[in-house]
Every structure is written in C-alpha cells, then in structure tokens.
Structure 1
C-alpha cells in the first residue's frame, strides 16, 4: 500500500502521461518573494487553462502553509470547492505570516487527480 503523498503529482516528479498535464493542472501561486512579519499580503492561486465541463473540471483547491520551525506542519489555510461551468479555479487569499515558509496548493481534477504547486515566502 502506497502513502497518499505518492498519488500527488507535481512538475518535479511527473512522468509518462502526467508530463502532458503539468501546465494545465499544477496550481500557480502568485505571492511576493518576501513580506514583513504580521503584515497582510495577497496570494492568488489558479489552475489552467483547464476545461470546465461536468465531465472534466477542477473540483477544489486546498492551501497549506509549512512554517519554518513549527513543531507540527502544515497549517491548513483554505479549501475552496468549485462547480463546473459556474465557477473558475481561481482564489485570492489575504495572509499574515510570522515566519518564513512555503505555501502549498493542491488542486483536484476529477479526471487527473491531485496536483501540487508551491512557493517559498521569506518573512523579514
């Protein structure tokens, strides 16, 4: 039996047919490279271009933060579910960080599984 994490696709480990899905399935995270401690900043996460039909769509985006030095990671930041044809897989979050770390976004496609995107953010 495999660990669940072995079923998560990422650009670094995609192989075979999954290589052709990297651009359209990996969550893209737009965030500053560095921020000030406890100061609000905006993060935009999107998937696509991707089909948005009942037969093939992005069902959800889940966002986590792995904080440097924290005993138990990750911290769950948000989960947003989407309905095909009515909503697009794009979310905007406002965050405040105390310490540097990595934002992870997991996007779930109803046909092609779970895909991971990540971005480091330094806190000054």
Structure 2
C-alpha cells in the first residue's frame, strides 16, 4: 500500500491489522461443515478413509525407495531410520552445513534441523533427492 505520508500509512496499517484480526479470529465454518458431512455419511467416510490409506501407503513406499537408493549408494551406512519413522515428515540427521549444501548445490530443501517432507517425494524426484542426500553424506 502506498500512502502520501507516514501518518496516513500508520492509519491504513492499523485498519488492515484490524481487518486481518477479524479474519483470523473467525475462520470460515465451511470446512467444519464438509468434515461433518464426510464423518456422518458411511459412503463418504469410507471414500475418505480409503484416500487416507492410499496417502499413507504412498508415503511408506517413498520411505522404502529412499532407503533402498541410499543403501545402494552408501552400503556401509545404516538408513533404517527412514523406514522406521512414520508420518509425512522425517528427520535425516543432517547438519546445518549439509542441509545448506543440499539447498545450494542440488536445490533440495529441508529445514535447517534436517527435517524433510517425505510426502513431497514422488517417483519422479526420489532418485534425484536420494542421490543428492548420498552426495552430501559421503
């Protein structure tokens, strides 16, 4: 927002903060209505449950593939933690320096803590990501 002076900018900013606060304090209810519809319909619930199972199985498959590629690239290192962990995210144990190297040299993004989004892996990128991980772990 462009204003002619600081005083007017401060007034506009105050109004924007007030507007945003109302939005965050009172989120829309339609998501809750959709969830209620799904939970109260045996057919929709079964469809939703099947989709959740498919997502879980895909994430498990990505963990297994990541484990397989890394184990093939660095056979003397134990990567079982990838298949023992559960959920959409995984902890790699990488240092901040290794994470930055992944980012700078391979455009693979993890949190500085070494946490990665396993759900973001797919059949098109998993070998590239695993090779990049193997390279920074050598």
TM-score when normalising by structure 2: 0.25
Higher-RCO chain (CA-CA 8 Å, sequence separation at least 6): 1
Per residue, is there more helix in 1 or in 2?
2
Per residue, is there more strand in 1 or in 2?
1
Larger radius of gyration: 2
